[in-house]
Structures are given as structure tokens and as C-alpha cells.
Amino acid sequence: MKDILLLSGEFRSRAQEASFQACRLPESRRQARRLFLFSVLLNTLFLSSDWRFAGTPHFEIAVPARIAVILGSLLCLGLARSMTSFRAVERLCFLWQAITAIGVAFLVSSRSDIAIFVLVMLPTVFYLAVPTSFRGNMGGGMACGTALLVGYLAPAPFSPTMPGMIMAMLILHCGMWIAIARSNRAQRQQWIATREAQDARAALANSSATLERMFMTVPVPLLVTRGDGTVLRHNEAAGRTLGREGDFRPIWMIEDDMPSIRLLDYIQAGGHADHIECRIADAGGILRDILYSSRPVMIAGEDCTLSSIVEITDRKNAERHLAQLAMTDALTGLANRSHFMAALTQASEATRSSGGRMAVALIDVDEFKRINDSSGHDAGDALLCAVGRRLRAAVRPGDLVARMGGDEFAVLITRTGDRRDLDSILARMAMRLHAPLRHGEREIECRASIGVALFPDHADDVADLMKHADIALYEAKNAGRGRACLFETGLLESWEREARMLERARHALVHTPPTPWYQPKVDLANGKVIGFEALLRCVQPDGSILMPGDIAAAFEHPELGRLLTDKMLEGILADCRAWEERGIDFGHVAVNLPGVELHDRAFPDRFLARLSENSVPPRRIELEVTESVFLGRNAEVVEHNLRRLSAAGISIALDDFGTGYASLSHLKQFPIDIIKIDRCFIRDLETDPDDAAIVRAVLNLAYSLGIQTVAEGVENESQLAYLRAGGCHFGQGFLFGAALPASRISELQRIDRSRSSN
């Protein structure tokens, strides 16, 4: 070992060596006292044998020397009580060695037969029996050997045996040195091993105590069970949580996929387990959710099972609550979209297996934004909750009502029979939904549109079923709202056609932004161009032109309609400003305005501000609106906006008159300056007496109300002559010119001036 010196067998570290000697101090003290006592007894015996020298010269040397050794040993024995440290033991042993070595040196001078034995024995005793350090052993042994050799050789120092004696003594001391070093090393190795063993036992005892304390105080219930299922040990947490006075037999484990079993029987049969979530019930019937784990352990040579049982009731309750929240709409308490889609998927599989039929109804609250804006969000929330309650009251048990988000609801109608059953359910839903809602001091009108699709009649998978129900809902809203619409193939074709229109519009806005082209409007009395209608054109890279009919659905789209209008107005106002700066008298420009703009109260101020920014007088602009903007619940907003624009000097034209659902009262209610007769009545004017009668009636009506008229789609002189004779003010169509880019308007104006001068 590196910590022990090779030559002496002692520790390199003085502190460690001192610790070793201090540890051995009681043994060293006992050994020193025994050495002193034996020295007294042996030398007393030897004193009696020394009388054989009586009458010889050696007698006078031997007896005093022996007595001196005995007295020195008695002195050391008497001083043994003062040996309180290893240094004190060593000093007292040095004293005894000195007295004994000197006394015996005189004794061996007799050169008797026993002197040779003493010459070898006493240094050996000094080496092996005296409890001192390596230095004390070697020093005492060599000093003693030297003293004895000198005493032995003193009578005849140059005898023939002298070299042999010296060599024998050297060999003896070398052997003793090796023996002492080995003995010291062995003692210290044994001491180290003993200390380590003691430390290990202490650590083990401490560890066992620590483990015991941990086992008892850990807050997780722990059970140690034998192979027969009996409980060997349990900690305090297990006693508090699971058993009354350590009796765990009444506890049962409950799992969904297996019958109930006693907890101890489950532990006995289970063996190794990792984080199994299950429930337990005690004798009082109290249920707890637990996380169970177990491991086989060996205790006192017996195979046992250590089980941990962590109660997770609060966590599981929280998880169940969160799961419920995740599947429930917070406002209405109905199922949410995730819950509905999961239930729909499950119901579709069951319906497909049974060969039955089911339906999905999507419900959208009409004019919900207006109700929210006008009556407040509290009224809107109350309306949504009322819709949820009414739907639940209208459907059958087993049908699922969900709020999909915003003002959209859905109903999963299971076990649908024939069409009469479905109509009956939809009628109940409509009747309940359309009843007015009393909120505070106000009565809120409740209307809803419903779109319905059948499984598997209209779709054989969930995604398509929802898509087709949504298309039916879209059709119900487009058809006037407040009604139910059942999906049919034609609706899908119409929806896909509109979807293609919207896609073309989006593509055009990004890659070929719309630009205004201008078709002249002519005074039928003198043939002079009095203005233009701005028509949308998107010139494609290949030279083809995207017409308004190609993207008709986009004009009523809430987002695309505004973007298209904004692009058109940007180009129109820029062209008007340029014509004003160049002194071109372009009369006015008629702009088609989609309904989404007129339903926005902020539009008039925003539009007039743009006119001012571009230095375009309001008299230069004529806004064309269709009859559809007068319908619906935003009529008061439309009326306000039209009057605001009319008051600013902008002319209002009613486009496509006669093709919509407008009442004649709208001509009186709204500030209409111009009626535009739709081209469908002008096209067959010469051959269809009904069209001629309609045109004549419109002209007479406009004349009576003092409203100017514009005929669209004038293509020949016969149509022109009939319109002039009927008193139509203006006309536009291919007879007068097709729509042209802004760059060619000045050319058209020159041609018109030349024609007028002729």
C-alpha cells in the first residue's frame, strides 16, 4: 500500500500514524505493564540461580546487576499509571530497555552457557515484545545487542569466536528488522481493514436507519407484501390513506377492462408494474384514482413485493374537467366543434354498419353582427344561449346540438327516417328559432338559416357531408335567409362555379389587377356622349380579358368585393383627375357599387374623402346600385348612406331595374335619380311585345316620378328609335361604342365632337 513505508512498515502520514498508535494505546499500555511484570518475575527467578556464582569474582557483578534490573522493572511498573499517551509508553519502555540492557550486559560477561542464549533472546524481546515505534524497536534492539555483545566479549575481546559472534548478531538484527517491518505493515493493514469494516458497518447501519426513516416518512403510501399477499410492512402514509390500523383487506381495485379484485390479491398476482392508472374503493365505498407501481424485492432472504400507491384523484378530476371544457362550448354549454366532429365520425361509422341514415343541419343566426352592434354583446350572448336552448328543445333525445363557433350551430340528427320525419324536425327547429327573444326591455328578433345534408344520400364521408351541409346553408342565406335548404347536386355545381369565380378574382387581384374600361353613355336626343360607365376588365398576359361575369360572385363577397371596388375606385379617380387636369369634358363616370359597401355606415365619408384627395367633384360620379341592396335588415343603413351621398352631389342610379325583387315603393323611399333598364328587356324589344310593354311602362313610370332613364344594351337603330319615341333619356351599348381603356377616351371625345359638329 502506498500509504505505508516500505522500510519501517509504518504510515507515511504522521497524523495517520499517530491515529493508529492512539487507537492501539490501551493494548500498548497492557503490553508494557505485562512486560515490566514478567521482567520482575523472571529476573527474580534468575536471581536465585545467580547464587551459583557464589565464591566467584562474577558473583559480585551478577547479583547487583540482577537486582538493578529487578528494581528498574519495578520502577517502570510503578510508573505505568502515567502512560496516558503513546509517547509516554514509549519513553517508559526506553527507560526499561536501558536499565535491562545495561544490567544484562554485566550478567553475560560471565560467558556462561546461558549467556549465549541471553545474547540472542534479549534483543529479540526488545524487537518483538516492547510496544514502541519502529524507531524504538530498532534502536532498543540494536543498542541492547551491542551492549550484550560488548559485555560478553569484554573478558576476552580478541577471542577466535569474536568475528563469528559479530556476524551472528548482524544477521539476527537484519532478520528482526525485516520481521518488524512486516509485522508493522500487517498490523496497519489490519487496522485499516478494521476501520473500513467499522465504517462500512456504521454506514450500513446509518443507511438502514435512514432508509427506515425514509420508508416511514415518505408521503407516498408504500406496502411490502409477502408472496402469499400478506402485508409485511407499510409506511405511515399507507396507514393514513389506505388502511384503518393497517388493515388493507377491504380495499378493492377497479379497472375498466377487468372485474374488481382485492388490492392485495392484485399485488400478489401482478408482480412488476409501472405507473398503472386505476381506481380503488375502500370499505366505505370511497373511490380514489391511483397511480400504481410495484417491484420485486428481497427482504431477509424472503421474496417480497414493494408497491407504491400514489393518489391522483385531484389530478384525474382536473383532467376530466379539462376534457369536458375542451369538448364543451363555454358560453352555451353545448358540445363544441371538436366534440361534434368526433361524435359525427362515430355516428357515421355506426350508420354505415347498420345501413341507416342520418342528417347534419348547420344553423347560422341571421344578422347576428347587426344585433351585436346595435344591442350590445350581452344581447348577442343571450341570443346565442337562447338558440342553443331552443335547438335542444326541438331535437329528439340522442340527437346532438353543438355550437361550431361564432353564430353557427350544428345538429346531428340520428336515425333519420323518410323526408317527412326530417321535415317535421326542421319545422320544429324553425318554429322555435324564429320566436322573438325578450332581453331586458328589448325584444330581439331571432331568425336563422338552416342547411341540411343527408348521410349517405349526399355524402359517404364526414368531410363531404359537412361541406354539402355548408353549401345548403349558403344557399338558404342567399335565397333570402330565415329558411331551411336541403342539399342537392345543383347546389354543389353552383357552389363550385362561385368558388371558381372567387379563385379567379383572387388570382386577378394578385397577378392582373382589375382596371376600369369606359363605355360611353349617349343622350338619345342629340347623340352626344354625356358620360361613361366604368366596367371592370382584367387583361391577361395572353391578351384575353377577364370580364365581370367571370368573377360575378366576388362582388358580393365581404372581402373580395371591397378589394375589387377599392382597385376600381383607385383607377377611376386617377383617370378622372387626369382628364380634369387635361381639360377633357368627360361628363360623369358611373361606378357599380356592391352591396357590401352600402351596408357599411362608414363608406360615404370614406368615399367622399377619396374624391377630395383626388380633386374630383362629386358631380362627376354616378353610383349604380342593384335592387338587391334594398332587401334585408340593413335597409335603414343603405338608405342613410344613399341620402348622405346624394346630398353631397353624387347621382344614384338603380341598375338592372325590373330583374330583382324591389318594390315600386323603393323608388319613393330611396334617393334614386336614374333608372337603368336592363338589357334583357332591350334585346328582344322589336320582336317580344311583353318586353316592349315593360320598357314602355318603366319609361312612363320614370316620367311620372321625374326620374331619368338609361337603356342598356342598345345595339341597332330600331331599338334606338323605339326608345327615343318612348321618351328614354340616355342609352349605352355597342351601337354607341364598346368599353375602352382610359387612354382612348380622348380619342372618343374627339370623334364625338366631330360627329356633333356635322
Which of residues 721 and 111 earns the better pLDDT score? 721
> How far is residue 298's CA from residue 307's CA, in Å, rounded to a whole number?
13
Least confident of 107-121, 405-419, 577-591, 731-745: 107-121
* 637 found inside a domain: yes
How would residue 96 be classed by pLDDT, with cut points 50, 70 and 90? confident
Same domain, 727 and 697: yes
* Domain termination site, one of 440, 470, 487: 487
Same domain, 270 and 399: no
Same domain, 302 and 354: no
pLDDT at 752 over 70: no
The counts of H helices and E strands in the chain are 25, 24
* 510 found inside a domain: no
Of the candidates 433, 545, 535, which has an alpha carbon nearest to the alpha carbon of residue 484? 433
**The total number of residues written for the chain in this structure:** 758
- What pLDDT, on the 0 to 100 scale, is given for residue 606? 92
Of the candidates 62, 42, 68, which has an alpha carbon nearest to the alpha carbon of residue 121? 42
Phi, psi dihedrals of residue 408, rounded to the nearest 5° = -110, 130
Judge residue 664's burial from the number of C-beta atoms within 10 Å of its C-beta, 0-12 exposed, 13-18 middle, 19 or more buried: exposed
- What pLDDT, on the 0 to 100 scale, is given for residue 368? 83
> How far is residue 587's CA from residue 576's CA, in Å, rounded to a whole number?
10
Question: Is the distance from CB of 278 to CB of 290 less than 8 angstroms?
Answer: yes
How would residue 259 be classed by pLDDT, with cut points 50, 70 and 90? low
Same domain, 190 and 299: no
- What pLDDT, on the 0 to 100 scale, is given for residue 114? 67
Least confident of 57-66, 327-336, 578-587, 691-700: 57-66
Q: In what order do the strands lie in the sheet with 358-365?
A: 400-405, 408-413, 358-365, 448-455, 484-486
Residue 593: strand pairing partners: none
Least confident of 138-147, 371-380, 531-540: 138-147
Which of residues 567 and 13 earns the better pLDDT score? 567
Q: How many Å from the N-terminal Cα to the C-terminal Cα in the chain? A: 132
Same domain, 338 and 309: no
pLDDT tens sequence across 421-460:
888 888 888 888 888 888 777 788 888 899 999 998 888 8
* 465 found inside a domain: yes
Same domain, 386 and 464: yes
Residue range 224-244: mean pLDDT, rounded: 74
pLDDT tens sequence across 506-545:
998 888 889 999 999 999 998 899 999 999 999 888 888 8
pLDDT tens sequence across 577-615:
999 888 888 899 999 988 778 888 899 999 999 999 999
Same domain, 134 and 254: no
Helices 560-582 and 603-613: crossing angle in degrees, nearest 10, is: 30
At 449, which helix (H) or strand (E)?
A: strand 448-455
As given in the structure block, the three cell numbers for residue 194 are 478494521
How would residue 401 be classed by pLDDT, with cut points 50, 70 and 90? very high
DSSP states of 500-517: HHHHHHHHHHHHS--EEE
Residue range 129-156: mean pLDDT, rounded: 73
Least confident of 44-48, 79-83, 688-692, 733-737: 44-48
- What pLDDT, on the 0 to 100 scale, is given for residue 245? 53
pLDDT at 137 over 60: yes
pLDDT at 113 over 70: no
Same domain, 296 and 334: no
Domain that holds residue 717: 515-753
* 509 found inside a domain: no
Other beta carbons within 10 Å of 614: 17
Residue range 163-182: mean pLDDT, rounded: 76
CATH number, domain of 231, equals: 3.30.450.20
How would residue 652 be classed by pLDDT, with cut points 50, 70 and 90? very high
- The pLDDT mean for the chain works out to 82
Which of residues 429 and 233 earns the better pLDDT score? 429
Helices 86-107 and 113-128: crossing angle in degrees, nearest 10, is: 170
Model pTM? Answer: 0.54
Can you point out the beta strands (E) in 57-131? none
> How far is residue 68's CA from residue 402's CA, in Å, rounded to a whole number?
119
Give me the number of domains the chain comprises.
4
pLDDT at 402 over 90: yes
Same domain, 547 and 677: yes
| Residues 6 or more apart in contact with residue 80 via CB below 8 angstroms | 29, 32, 33, 36, 92
How would residue 55 be classed by pLDDT, with cut points 50, 70 and 90? low
Query: Which residue type sits at 539?
Result: V
CATH number, domain of 389, equals: 3.30.70.270
* 130 found inside a domain: yes
* Domain termination site, one of 282, 317, 352: 317
* 174 found inside a domain: yes
| Residues 6 or more apart in contact with residue 423 via CB below 8 angstroms | none
| CA quadruple 610, 614, 615, 617: dihedral sign | negative
How would residue 219 be classed by pLDDT, with cut points 50, 70 and 90? confident
Which of residues 96 and 455 earns the better pLDDT score? 455
- What pLDDT, on the 0 to 100 scale, is given for residue 361? 92
Same domain, 353 and 310: no
Same domain, 425 and 574: no
Which of residues 382 and 439 earns the better pLDDT score? 382
Phi, psi dihedrals of residue 751, rounded to the nearest 5° = -65, -40
- What pLDDT, on the 0 to 100 scale, is given for residue 714? 94
> How far is residue 710's CA from residue 655's CA, in Å, rounded to a whole number?
9
Q: Which range, 157-171, 222-236, 512-526, is most confident?
A: 512-526
Question: Is the distance from CB of 492 to CB of 468 less than 8 angstroms?
Answer: yes
Portion of the chain with pLDDT greater than 70, in percent = 88
> How far is residue 84's CA from residue 26's CA, in Å, rounded to a whole number?
9
- What pLDDT, on the 0 to 100 scale, is given for residue 75? 87
Which of residues 600 and 418 earns the better pLDDT score? 600
* Domain termination site, one of 194, 211, 245: 194
* 72 found inside a domain: yes
Residue range 269-287: mean pLDDT, rounded: 72
pLDDT tens sequence across 477-495:
877 778 889 888 888 888 8
* 123 found inside a domain: yes
Same domain, 470 and 605: no
How would residue 758 be classed by pLDDT, with cut points 50, 70 and 90? very low
Can you point out the beta strands (E) in 482-631? 484-486, 515-523, 529-539, 545-546, 589-592, 621-626
Residue range 273-296: mean pLDDT, rounded: 76
